[in-house]
Amino acid sequence: MSYKGPKFIVVTGGVLSGLGKGIATASIGHLLSGRLNVIPIKCDGYLNTDPGTMNPIEHGEVFVLDDGGEVDMDFGHYERFLGVTSKFSWNLTMGKVFKMILDRERRGDFLGQTVQFIPHVTDTIKECIHSIAKAERADIVLIEIGGTVGDMENELYLEAVRQLRQNVGTDNIVFVHLTYVPVPSGIEEQKSKPTQQSVKLLNERGIRPDLIIGRGPEMLTNKIKQKIALFCNIEPEAVISGADVDTVYRLPLVYEKERVTEILHKKLKIYSPPSLGRWAELVDRMMRKEGKTPIRLAICGKYVNLHDSYASILEAISHTGAHLDAACQLVWVDTTEIENGKVSLDDALSGIDAVIVPGGFGTRGIEGKIEVIRVCREKKIPFLGICYGMQLAVIEFARNVCAISEANTKEIEADGFTVKEPVVCILPEQQKIVYKGGTMRLGGHDVVIVPRTKAEQIFRAPKIRRRFRHRYEINPEYVSRLKEKGMVFCGHDPSGEIMQLMELPDHPFFMGCQFHPELTSCLDKPDELFYNLVKAALEKKRSSQKM
């Protein structure tokens, strides 16, 4: 009986972590998504149920899905490249998988069997994959295996996808292996040995790659392609260059030039030609240097040592730059150094055209952020506060405009402080929460836009849907006092109780949002708040240059 289900593309990695499997997976999916329904699945080896409780400095950004799932930042690449709205079930972690197994064992589902890694864990992984494919009516299922081949944490995933090939047949699954081709200093020659060893490890697990993508500082030479093909039992044309690019959005164009689409069509017996014209145009506009107005945009936070903590914000800025022909030059400001007096406010904001204060948690660096916000308000520097950034903007306004000198957030009481004027308080439904993971106000929620506000001009809709990740809100008891002094709450939840957008009407651009606009920005449609922040900075700069 012939197989009639979806096709599978499994992406593994070797040699070292951080090579960009997520971007490679998303780029391959982008090439096939023109006519086919492409669904991504990410398999992570860690025992956390999700990355929601992990430190951003250790793990990078937590990407929040519309259904409230907290997932790996690779899902940001999937959504931006594939145009899909991902679901929490598409992210398998070993913590999730083991919990499923243990719950089933307690219910007696295994009928007294000894529960083992094989077949019970591997069967559960395969069941999850098939269940997602069926529920989403997928034509192509992309499966990214986190980590590198040889890691203990991903062995069960590798065994599961090896078995998957046996189940669906070799014509219905392709294995793509991303590896590293270094050019050692002083030798100036591409080296294939790391790739050979990585592929050997993969072979030992019963998997032979159909495509090998060689990541490195330059395009692979024909010589190195031939060598990799010889030692890895693969056709030379299936050895693909994954050279460093000026922007990750160029990678689908590189893969298409390397004939990845053609190879996948042939191996999987499918046909879905990519449409890359508009994509290529936007990528070129994003990276073009000539004729652009330079904008110095400061990101003021406490995780600035790891830029991946703000990955989606950086993407949203790139999207905006492509559409406005602005050259956004990022300036990273560590607000803890302002708070500790190591860096002066004047030095930190010297020559800055716009400021973003992103989300975050805890007390460290917040007084530095509040001082940055004050300068933006007083000196009319375009400003966008996101989540915690909006809350701190309200606190700054309460202190310095409403004369509520002890205004603060209840969040800092967890660190032993006493808050006499809680302008920001905990959401009522969060007051009895004990567990930290997955318990915030998460995911997509509707935002009602108030008429005759700047927000209405920006969004041009009575209601929008955006993604949230927070426990605290603007205290309703202080809203009227803030409004009396000129703060406008221009967006709220459908009940009218939770303030979700604020603006100052007498400012070129001063807005705060409780949601995370960066999570829904994409290359062909940049987020409106980022777009208008940069637009305001451009207009202010051009106006000052004419004077």
The 10s digit of each residue's pLDDT in 411-438 is 888 777 888 999 999 887 666 554 555 5
Residues 366 and 217 in one domain: no
Alpha helices in 33-73 (DSSP H): 56-59
Percent of the chain with pLDDT over 90: 80
Percent of the chain with pLDDT over 70: 95
Average pLDDT taken over every residue of the chain: 92
Q: Are residues 384 and 349 in the same domain?
A: yes
Of 92-96, 202-206, 281-285, 542-546, the one with minimum mean pLDDT is 542-546
What does the pLDDT read at residue 431? 60
The pLDDT assigned to 546 comes to: 67
CATH number at residue 413: 3.40.50.880
Q: Is residue 275 located within the same domain as residue 297?
A: no
What are 161-183's pLDDT values in tens digits?
999 999 999 999 999 999 999 99
Does residue 1 lie within any of the structural domains? no
More confident residue, 61 or 63: 63
Label residue 503 by pLDDT band (50, 70, 90).
Answer: very high
Least confident of 5-19, 306-320, 397-411: 306-320
User: How many domains are contained in the chain?
Assistant: 2
Per-residue pLDDT band for 50 (boundaries 50, 70, 90) equals: confident
| pTM of the entire predicted model | 0.92
Catalytic residues: 387, 516, 518
Q: What are 81's two structure tokens?
A: 């490249």
Domain of 169?
A: 7-281
Which pLDDT score is estimated for 117?
A: 95
The string of pLDDT tens digits covering residues 276-314 is 999 999 999 999 988 888 999 999 987 666 677 789 999
Domain boundary pick from 234, 259, 281: 281
Q: Is 93 a member of any domain?
A: yes
Give mean pLDDT, residues 493-518.
Answer: 96
Which of 236, 262, 281 is at the close of a domain? Answer: 281
Is 240 strand, coil or helix?
A: strand
Other Cβ atoms closer than 10 A to 189: 11
Tell me what the mean pLDDT of segment 397-417 comes to. Answer: 90
Is 200 contained in some domain? yes
- pLDDT tens by residue, 438-471: 557 899 999 999 999 999 999 999 999 999 998 8
CB-based burial, 437-452: b 16+ in 10 Å, e otherwise: eeebbbbbbebbbbee
| pLDDT the model gives residue 411 | 87
pLDDT range class, residue 340, cuts 50, 70, 90: confident
Compare 541 and 169 and report the one with higher pLDDT: 169
Question: Residue 290 has what pLDDT?
Answer: 84
Asked whether residue 292 falls in the same domain as residue 154, the answer is: no
Residues 43 and 166 in one domain: yes
The answer to whether residues 229 and 308 belong to one domain is no
Residue 357 lies in a domain: yes
Q: What is the pLDDT of residue 149?
A: 96
91 and 137 in a single domain? The answer is yes
**pLDDT-based confidence at 90, cuts 50/70/90?**
very high
Mean per-residue pLDDT, 83-111: 95
Q: What is the pLDDT of residue 434?
A: 47
Give the pLDDT confidence score for residue 305 in this predicted structure: 67
CA atoms within 13 A on the CB side of 397: 29
Q: What is the DSSP string of 405-443?
A: TTEEEGGGGGGT---SEEEEEE-GGGTT----TT-SEEE
Residues 298 and 256 in one domain: no
Which phi and psi angles does 122 have, rounded to 5°? -65, -35
Q: How many CB atoms lie within 10 A of CB 170?
A: 12
Residue 399 lies in a domain: yes
Q: What is the pLDDT of residues 182-195, one digit of tens each?
A: 999 888 899 999 99
Does any domain span residue 229? yes
Pairing of strands 488-492, 441-449: antiparallel
End-to-end Cα distance, the chain: 77
Q: Answer with the residue of higher pLDDT: 236 or 426.
A: 236
- The residue from 243, 263, 281 where one domain ends is 281
Q: Tell me, yes or no, whether 148 lies in a domain.
A: yes
Is residue 260 domain-shared with residue 323, that is, in the same domain? no
Tell me how many degrees the CA angle 187-193-197 measures, rounded to the nearest 5: 155
